Amino acid sequence: MSDRSLLMIPGPIELEPTVTQVLAEKQRGHLDPRFMAAFSRALKRLRDVFLTTTAQPFVVAGSGTLAMELAVANVIEPGDAVLVVNTGYFSDRLALILERYGAQVTHVRAEPGEVPEVSAVKKVLASGRFKALTVTHVDTSTGVLAPVEALAALAREHGALSLVDGVCSVGAEALRMDAWNVDVALTASQKALGAPPGLAVLLASPRAMTAWRERKKPVPSLYLDFGEWLPVHQAYEAERPSYFATPPVQLVSALDASLGQLLVEGMDARFARHVKLAQAFRAGMRALGLTFLPARDEVMAHALSAVRYPSGVDAALVKAIAQQGVTVAGGLHPQLKGTYFRVGHMGAVSGNDVLAAVGAVERALAQTGAAKDVGAGVAAAERALR
């Protein structure tokens, strides 16, 4: 019996065959001309994915949390006031990093499943001088989508930098770095960018780079300092050899391959596909009588869905779904993690994958007696896809 399972968690995600083929290639050195060409393409392609012509990309070995710290370490100094638009677990993590670097942090919070009102954020911004405003575009713990365009506009209006945690959004949700005046946007390789885990990705606008250059004190971490990485990235983009720390050759090459596929699809088409897949999955869940952690359709992300367990069902459902051939994730938010599960539908996910996931949830619920009309969920999802 096959133990093959469809991976439908909010990252890492299933990889396209072209990406896995790159991982299997012969090991090359980090100064090999073929690798330098791949790194150069990846950096240029990142600007196209983030929809910017002016931002400086950085690709550093590490996780999404490292990308958060890379942002904070370079543009924030001790004593800087920072406003955190808090939508959940990963907003709290970013706030913790800010505090470690000496920032004076103010939160504008919402109940789990909601987003702070833009008017409330504006009121707090107007009450003091903030160096930066941070927002988690999609909080992976709740499946909530924040209004980055409006918040970045507010930050610019009040003279603050906008720092966007796009770990669970970039490559799935619309993010237009130049058009929305976003100053720092960051992500990780293993989610909607469709590459393996292991790369922290950050793009910094000219305003953010100026803030780094005008620091009063050096960046406290050598590894995170833009000053160490910038010459290396500029050299690789020009396909010239340079060295600070050895880049993960296969991972960068896989990222290059994946970014190429994103751009062949086209970013607007990719955003629209994720909307359609999310709507189809949720149509299937609603047909089964299930509800969602996000409070309203308007604040639901398109990269993943956070689905509440029905009455009488607990976290054992996640294992039951896995037994049906689809791997999903349990809840993550500390206050609510035993009340819901999460399904990722980003990156290479297709309509057929969504139908498989809905069917697995449906069959698992049937085992518990919580799904009476078996087939209704898949039928609803299929209608939505059509």
> Does a structural domain hold residue 245?
yes
Q: Where a domain ends, among 232, 265, 298?
A: 265
Residues, the chain:
386
Tell me the C-alpha to C-alpha distance, in Å, between residue 128 and each of 82, 84, 106, 349: 10, 14, 10, 44
* Phi–psi pair at 344, nearest 5 degrees: -85, 135
Do 296 and 214 have their domain in common?
no
Question: What's the token pair of residue 299?
Answer: 């604040």
Do 334 and 195 have their domain in common?
no
Q: What is the pLDDT of residue 1?
A: 39
Do 278 and 247 have their domain in common?
no
Query: What's at 180, amino acid-wise?
Result: W
Query: What mean pLDDT do residues 235-249 have?
Result: 96
Percent of the chain with pLDDT over 90: 96
Question: What string of DSSP letters covers 319-330?
Answer: HHHHHTTEE-EE
> Does a structural domain hold residue 364?
yes
Residue 165 structural domain: 17-265
107-131 pLDDT, tens per residue? 999 999 999 999 999 999 999 899 9
Kindly report the pTM of this predicted structure: 0.96
Q: Nearest-CA neighbor of 31 among 242, 238, 231, 235?
A: 242
Do 283 and 303 have their domain in common?
yes
> Does a structural domain hold residue 1?
no
292-342 pLDDT, tens per residue? 999 999 999 999 999 999 999 999 999 999 999 999 999 999 999 999 999
Name 62's Cβ contacts closer than 8 Å, sequence gap at least 6: 70, 198, 199, 200
* Phi–psi pair at 355, nearest 5 degrees: -65, -40
**Neighbour count for residue 85 (Cβ, 10 Å):** 27
21-71 pLDDT, tens per residue? 999 999 999 999 999 999 999 999 999 999 999 999 999 999 999 999 999
Q: What is the pLDDT of residue 3?
A: 67
Quickly list H helices, 24-147.
33-49, 64-75, 89-100, 118-126
Domain count of the chain? 2
| CATH code assigned at 119 | 3.40.640.10
Do 175 and 222 have their domain in common?
yes
pLDDT band at 2 (very low <50, low <70, confident <90, very high): low
